[in-house]
């Protein structure tokens, strides 16, 4: 059974629906103690990083202990950001610290669209003329290394994003997307994985990615 952690950040309907469509059995643990019997753990999330403060010490301990016992963990959106050390969105709220680095606002860095010299100058002016945040919509994935998550998917596959903050590119980065700056669209280190996009809203490609993760769990 997959533990779908509900910490009150947004609505889990879409994730539940996707897991159901893939035939996965899951439940929402009522207390951290229940996490111990999970075959896999999903930390979903939309909205503000501060919402993860609901995952207090007992939850953090239970999830870290499960990871130590080789239970697969998947963070989605804010759930991916929570795997890092923290986020400038809520500096006082610590992340899980399984990945090195902190998440930052996408517009904190200069847009490459503005600066990249292009033969297609007119198009750059009209199409990539300004960086909009939140980053909403379908964007493509580049794979810096092979990963379990993206097995069977081709580079350039597009998935659905909706977020303002993003995680840096690190050694564990399994997919990179660029919106103003390159960021970790996905991370995978052993059985710890996270996706910044929403696989549950990314059509067939998203379901394939979720299924790839479920196979491990």
Partner 1 sequence: MLSKRIIACLDVRDGRVVKGINFEGLREAGDPALLARRYNVEGIDEIVILDVTATLEARQARSQTIAAVAHEIFLPLCVGGGIRTEGDAAAAVEAGADKVSLNTAALLDPSLITTLARRYGSQAVVVAIDARWQDGRAAVYVRSGQAETARDAVDWAREATERGAGEILLTSIDRDGTKSGFDCALTAAVSDAVNIPVIASGGAGTFEHFAEVFTTGHADAALAASIFHFNEHSVEALKGFLHERNIPVRLPGHGTAPGAPDAPVHPQRD
Positions in the binding site for partner 1 (CB under 8 A) = 9-11, 13-14, 17-18, 21, 46-48, 107, 113, 120, 123, 126-140, 143, 146, 148, 150-158, 160, 162-164, 178-179, 198, 200-208
Nearest residue (CB) to partner 1, 64 versus 107:
107
| 198 catalytically annotated | yes
Nearest residue (CB) to partner 1, 68 versus 122:
122
Q: Where are the beta strands (DSSP E) in the chain?
A: 2-4, 26-27, 40-43, 73-76, 86-87, 102-105, 135-140, 158-163, 165-166, 173-179, 181-189, 192-195
Nearest residue (CB) to partner 1, 19 versus 62:
19
Nearest residue (CB) to partner 1, 13 versus 70:
13
Options 89, 179, 188, 200, the catalytic residue? 200
- Least distance in angstroms from the C-beta of 206 to partner 1: 6
Which of 12, 32, 19 lies closest to 217 in space, CA to CA? 19
Burial letters 110-129, b for 16+ CB under 10 A, else e:
ebebeeeeeeeeeebeeebe
Residue 178: strand pairing partners: 182
Options 135, 163, 179, 198, the catalytic residue? 198
- Least distance in angstroms from the C-beta of 33 to partner 1: 28
- Least distance in angstroms from the C-beta of 97 to partner 1: 24
Residues 6 or more apart whose Cβ sits within 8 Å of residue 123: none
Q: State how far the Cα of 179 lies from the Cα of 137, in Å rounded to an integer.
A: 11
Options 77, 163, 179, 188, the catalytic residue? 77
Which residues carry out catalysis?
Answer: 77, 198, 200
């Amino acid at each position: 059974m997959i533990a779908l952690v509900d910490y009150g950040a947004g609505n889990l309907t879409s994730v539940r629906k996707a897991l159901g469509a893939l035939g996965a059995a899951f439940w929402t643990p009522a207390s951290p103690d229940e996490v111990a019997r999970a075959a896999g753990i999903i930390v979903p999330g939309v909205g503000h990083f501060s919402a993860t403060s609901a995952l207090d010490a007992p939850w953090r301990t239970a999830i870290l202990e499960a990871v130590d016992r080789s239970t697969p963990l998947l963070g989605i959106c804010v759930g991916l950001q929570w795997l890092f050390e923290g986020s400038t969105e809520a500096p006082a709220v610590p992340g899980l610290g399984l990945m090195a680095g902190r998440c930052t606002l996408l517009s904190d860095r200069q847009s490459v669209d503005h600066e990249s010299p292009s033969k297609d100058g007119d198009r750059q002016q009209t199409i990539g003329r300004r960086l909009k945040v939140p980053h909403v919509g379908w964007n493509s994935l580049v794979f810096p290394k092979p990963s379990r998550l993206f097995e069977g998917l081709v580079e350039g596959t597009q998935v659905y994003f909706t977020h303002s903050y993003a995680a840096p590119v690190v050694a564990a980065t399994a997919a990179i997307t660029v919106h103003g700056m390159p960021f970790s669209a996905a991370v995978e280190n052993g059985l710890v994985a996270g996706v910044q996009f929403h696989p549950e809203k990314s059509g067939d490609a998203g379901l394939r990615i979720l299924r790839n993760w479920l196979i491990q769990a």
